[in-house]
Structure 1
Amino acid sequence: MIDSARRQFAAIMAGALCGLASLPAVAQEVKWPVKPVRFIVPFPPGGSVDPLARLLGARLSASLGQQFIVDNRPGGSGSIGAALAAKSPPDGYTFLFVFDTHAVNPTLIPNLPFDTVKDFTPVMLVGTAPMAIVTNPAKPYKTFADVVKAAKAKPDTVTYGSVGSGSLGHLTMTLVEQAGGFKLVHVPYKGGGPMTTDAMGGQVELAIGSVAVLTPHVKGGKLRAIAVTGDKRSHAIPDVPALAEQGYPGFSALAWWGIFAPSGLPSPIRDRFHGELTQALNLPEVRKQLTEQLGMDLVVSKPEELQKFLVREMERWGKVVREHKIKPE
């Protein structure tokens, strides 16, 4: 009987020790971060990715007591910063903020030094936003149908600007031209600033860019928006009909913002970081800033949802790049 009691006691102790074996993982989660965290932004200051990273970094610094430092590494449509992130240790102290170019670059740019799908750990799809198609108010285009009519009447005369060859705006207009059976003349710019300046000055007939960049000029009367590229209207400019309402049913092309880490990031750290991001993005003042200033529709996805979204975007836009033989500048 004594031996039986001893065996039961030994079994209980063994179970307790097994339970204790899991504690280091919990402790590891609690201890992160213990030093400054780097947010790689593969674009210059300004734009939309940089202010998103800075806004979230400030909120996380306040809640976690460590610095979250934005490291701008522009170039190659975001691929230079992405390459740096891919080679960084997966220790929870380097994260990558990306824009929609992240899904286009694998097809557009040959010989990328990383695998876009395999070399990153997905964290969160932060949000999406439609693009706006705009024109100078003195131009004759009141609707997108006016653009199509003019382009068909005089092929290869109606120009439009985008932020670059192979940009999401360029690829979107390529799809729309194909669907509508008309042809525009693409004028690639090196960024939203010069494109917007020329659109306001009438040097190009049209321009396509993010609602974040173009909406202030639309509201200021310097540009007229004739369409947005989502499947519904944008809350930033709700009077502007979507292309889906103007003869392209079901059409949608969205800019997007996501956060990744180097491949191999431990799940406890990813889960902790994801939870902190979610809390920050649920703050009313943060949501207001992102929706009003960047025209963003917040998604705040789970990690696996970002991965599925990325693969779908790569397949869709990669096909456009290949079929139309689009090359980077």
Structure 2
Amino acid sequence: MKKHALLRALLAAPLLALALPAAAQQARLIIPAPPGGGTDGFFRTFALAAEEKLDGPLVVVNVGGAGGAIGMNQMIRSAPDGATLAAVWNSPVTAVPHSLRDSYGPDDFTPIIQLSSAPYVFCVKSEFPARTGQEFIATLEKNPGKYTYGNDGVGGIGQLASERIFRAKKLSVLGVPFKGAGDTLNNFLGGHVDIYVGSILPIKSHLDNGKVVCPLLSSAERTPMLPNAASLTDIGVPEEQTLLWRGVLGPKNLPLPVVQKLQAAFSHAAQKPAVQKFVADAGEQVVIRTGAELDRMIRDEYAALGKVAESLNIARQ
């Protein structure tokens, strides 16, 4: 009887193994920025909600440095199996590569999904001699070389987006590079530069208390969050739009079923009320783009900012 029981147990063992659940598939989500900032909080919120539709956890890994290029390169060099992704804003995708040697471009990764969008803002102290977008442009036009603007570093999105507009309007404004939006804001508030260029959220409280005026957006359309700020359409150059956008990318040749599963998971996350509130509180709006539309947007922005980099003599050789 004992022999028969042992035989039955041995025969049943493979069946029991098949009945066990497969190990959860863990994926790395590289955020090419230090922990604790707005980009980090944004993608951690999305990742947690997206996990509900994936086979395993999304492990967030912060890889800062070189304006986001170090994290981007780690993702690009990874195997195209969905195990390594990058959660990005547009600067390390369409701006920073132009000023780096041996860099990357739109052919080197797979666009998966765009999740949000927002204009950059141009803000000045309340004593600045302009309140509207038209007055802002007129003041800069009458005073070539007098005013300075803070941005996120040489070759960063703040510099290239600003110069894209200034050059279209034939304006001479001196750019001063800083380490990021927080550093830019501190130097602007400290009087070291005349104009803040960056995202809405860091400057919002100073705008609300009347110490700051934001006369211009980097978008072709106005935004309800800043109803008095002029759009690029208002000043006659809507084609020079550069928006802050956030999204998820994967290595080149990522299989379509993997892409589609990730798109579905992050689209699901974007519908969560808590996620939508987080995005709105950050001064952004949920915008979903995928496929050819997203690829075209990235390529168009990459090409436009590349021309600006060349005009500034900062394009890689």
TM-score range, shorter chain: 0.7 to 0.9
For residue 176 of structure 1, the aligned residue among 157, 165, 169 is 165
For residue 83 of structure 1, the aligned residue among 73, 76, 88 is 73
The letter for the 2-side match of 1:82 is M
Partner of 1:272: 261
For the Cα contact (< 8 Å) 2:63–2:71, is it kept in 1?
A: yes
Q: Are 1:74 and 2:64 an aligned pair?
A: yes
Partner of 1:125: 114
The letter for the 2-side match of 1:269 is V
Q: Are 1:227 and 2:190 an aligned pair?
A: no
Distance 2:295 2:143 in 1: 43
**Equivalences for residues 17-36 of structure 1 within 5 A:** 34-36=24-26
Structure 2 segments unaligned to the other structure (5+ residues): 1-20
Q: Judge which range, 292-301 or 227-236, deviates more.
A: 292-301
Q: Are 1:319 and 2:307 an aligned pair?
A: yes
The letter for the 1-side match of 2:281 is Q
Aligned to 1:243, the other structure's residue is in SS state coil
For residue 142 of structure 2, the aligned residue among 137, 149, 153 is 153
Partner of 1:7: none
Change (3 A) 1:221 1:33: farther
Deviations 1:77-130 (A, max 9, x none): 111001111122222221111211211233221212xx4323322211222211
Aligned to 2:119, the other structure's residue is in SS state strand
The letter for the 1-side match of 2:60 is V
For the Cα contact (< 8 Å) 1:135–1:200, is it kept in 2?
A: no
Q: How many residues align?
A: 295
User: Per-residue deviation at 1:72?
Assistant: 0.5
The letter for the 2-side match of 1:273 is L
Change (3 A) 1:327 1:173: same
Partner of 1:28: none
Change (3 A) 1:144 1:238: closer
Aligned to 1:245, the other structure's residue is in SS state coil
**Equivalences for residues 38-49 of structure 1 within 5 A:** 38-49=28-39
Deviations 1:274-308 (A, max 9, x none): 11111111223312221x22222322122332222
The letter for the 2-side match of 1:325 is N
TM-score normalized by the length of structure 2: 0.85
Change (3 A) 1:34 1:119: farther
For the Cα contact (< 8 Å) 2:24–2:57, is it kept in 1?
A: no
User: Per-residue deviation at 1:170?
Assistant: 1.3
Partner of 1:11: none
Q: Are 1:103 and 2:91 an aligned pair?
A: no
Partner of 2:199: 210
Aligned to 2:297, the other structure's residue is in SS state helix
Distance 2:208 2:107 in 1: 42
For the Cα contact (< 8 Å) 2:86–2:249, is it kept in 1?
A: yes
Distance 1:221 1:73 in 2: 37
For residue 50 of structure 1, the aligned residue among 29, 33, 40 is 40
Distance 2:259 2:171 in 1: 47
Distance 2:22 2:178 in 1: 42
Q: Judge which range, 164-173 or 123-132, deviates more.
A: 164-173
Distance 2:100 2:153 in 1: 13
The letter for the 2-side match of 1:105 is V
Change (3 A) 1:239 1:99: same
Change (3 A) 1:276 1:249: closer
Structure 1 segments unaligned to the other structure (5+ residues): 1-30
Distance 1:124 1:216 in 2: 31
For the Cα contact (< 8 Å) 1:136–1:201, is it kept in 2?
A: no
Partner of 2:176: 187
For residue 285 of structure 2, the aligned residue among 287, 290, 297 is 297
The letter for the 1-side match of 2:288 is V
Deviations 1:185-225 (A, max 9, x none): 11111111121112223321111111233223322433211
User: Per-residue deviation at 1:327?
Assistant: 5.8
Partner of 2:187: 198
Aligned to 1:299, the other structure's residue is in SS state strand
The letter for the 1-side match of 2:80 is P
Q: Judge which range, 74-83 or 177-186, deviates more.
A: 177-186
Change (3 A) 1:144 1:235: closer
Partner of 1:19: none
TM-score normalized by the length of structure 1: 0.82
Identity of aligned residues (%): 26
Change (3 A) 1:34 1:270: farther
Aligned to 2:289, the other structure's residue is in SS state coil
